[in-house]
A and B are shown apart, each in its own frame.
Chain A
């Protein structure tokens, strides 16, 4: 790695986060103005939005870091580690969004199996057994308490 003194590293993830925050703030500010231009409606949202956007601008430079030649880039995080986080995240999103459609039992069990595997459980018997038991316990427990129907497919 031949890095010259003062090489600039861009933290793309940080930049993306700031972009998302800025986009949400701008959308919300504009939507509030569209709802009504009365002062009582803009009283807090408008100044807070402007302040937030100002903060985003002030933070953008922090997404660029100057790394010295001998400087370590912190503890190394492997691509594999990050990939596992993203896979788990994707599985979680799929689980949360699908549970009403495929049934809480099926969605929970599937997510448990995938989640346990991703988190490092190599024993499939243990994985399937724990997932099934936990799913049943949870559905029974919450089902007994909450005053809402639970869409179920198998149980």
Chain B
């Protein structure tokens, strides 16, 4: 299995987007192909109430007037999005079923740890507006004041700091990279496993564990109760204080991105129905860039940034490649 996004794909995509800029307006295209002539289903591989579900339900009314058809949200939660992704892949690639998911890291995880029947290449990203990142945080009243405090204590006794983390997660990969740089094996650490980001964050905020490594965006509502120590990104995110991984491990520090959430379609849809794909792409781009929509989504703490297919696909594929490097860690024994 290769995780490299082939050069040919890239060129083709670049070509499609370039053509988009010059070709006629979406309304005319719609008239030509008749797409969409019936409602579109948006598969969300998570249950109601989560980030992806909220984004789907908030975004659907913004997309409907542009496409001229209603959007139905179909929740297919379970098994770390495996069920939803598999279900989505089984639907016809005619553009009437699209997917809104945390493609990174779940697509690579489904493939690497759950024997999924699809590959990364089967998915084409239209836009991944929500880009999460790992944040190491401790309770606001903790005696650990900086990443240096944490590392010093771990150097003295690796088991002395209890670390909340989800098993088989991007966060665990990031922790391992950080510890490897110090020559410390994760087996010697006191890892406390949580089966969700929320519980791990609560444990950090309540001082149940000394530190936790979890997706940083989810920490925002808890900002007052935690102290951020280390952001696994090369730039400051969401105003968190504390160090960046590039301060600790140098400018070329390797790290895995957190959840990369947004819209995706079948790769074969892009190939077989370029006209329909263009209509969909334009609609999502227009809706994402509309200032009124941006304001409304920001109010709901939902991301809106437009990165476009090229960047989004590259991001997903680089996450997949990095996670494959740490396969042993994810599979466990």
Residues of A within 8 A of B (CB): 36, 38, 40, 147-149
Contact = CB atoms under 8 A, between A and B. Distances in A.
Nearest to A148: B74
B170 interface: no
B333 A147 contact: no
B41 A38 contact: no
B333 A38 contact: yes
Please classify the interface of chain B as helix (H, G, I), strand (E, B), loop, or mixed, using the class held by over half of its residues: strand
Nearest to A38: B333
B73 interface: yes
B48 interface: yes
Nearest to B91: A149
Interface of B: 41, 48, 72-76, 193, 332-333
Interface centre among A38, A147, A149 (most CB of B within 10 A): A147
Contact of B48 (A36, A40, A147, A149): A147
A23 to B, nearest CB: 25
B332 A148 contact: no
B75 A147 contact: yes
Contacts of A38: 333
A16 B85 CA distance: 39
9 contacts: A36-B332, A36-B333, A38-B333, A147-B72, A147-B73, A147-B75, A148-B75, A148-B76, A149-B41
Contacts of B48: 147
Contacts of B333: 36, 38
Contacts of B332: 36
A143 to B, nearest CB: 12
Contacts of A36: 332-333
Contacts of B75: 147-148
A144 to B, nearest CB: 13
A149 B75 CA distance: 10
Given A36-B333, A147-B74, A149-B41, 8 more contacts: A38-B333, A40-B193, A147-B48, A147-B72, A147-B73, A148-B74, A148-B75, A148-B76
A149 to B, nearest CB: 7
B144 to A, nearest CB: 25
In the A-B complex, the 9 residue pairs with the smallest Cβ-Cβ separation, listed nearest first, are A147-B75, A147-B73, A36-B333, A148-B74, A147-B74, A149-B74, A36-B332, A149-B41, A148-B75
B299 to A, nearest CB: 24
A36 B72 CA distance: 41
Nearest to B191: A40
A148 B333 CA distance: 37
A42 to B, nearest CB: 13
A116 B74 CA distance: 34
A149 B76 CA distance: 11
A31 to B, nearest CB: 15
A147 B72 CA distance: 8
Contacts of A147: 48, 72-75
A145 to B, nearest CB: 12
A148 B76 CA distance: 8
A36 B73 CA distance: 38
Nearest to A37: B333
Contacts of B74: 147-149
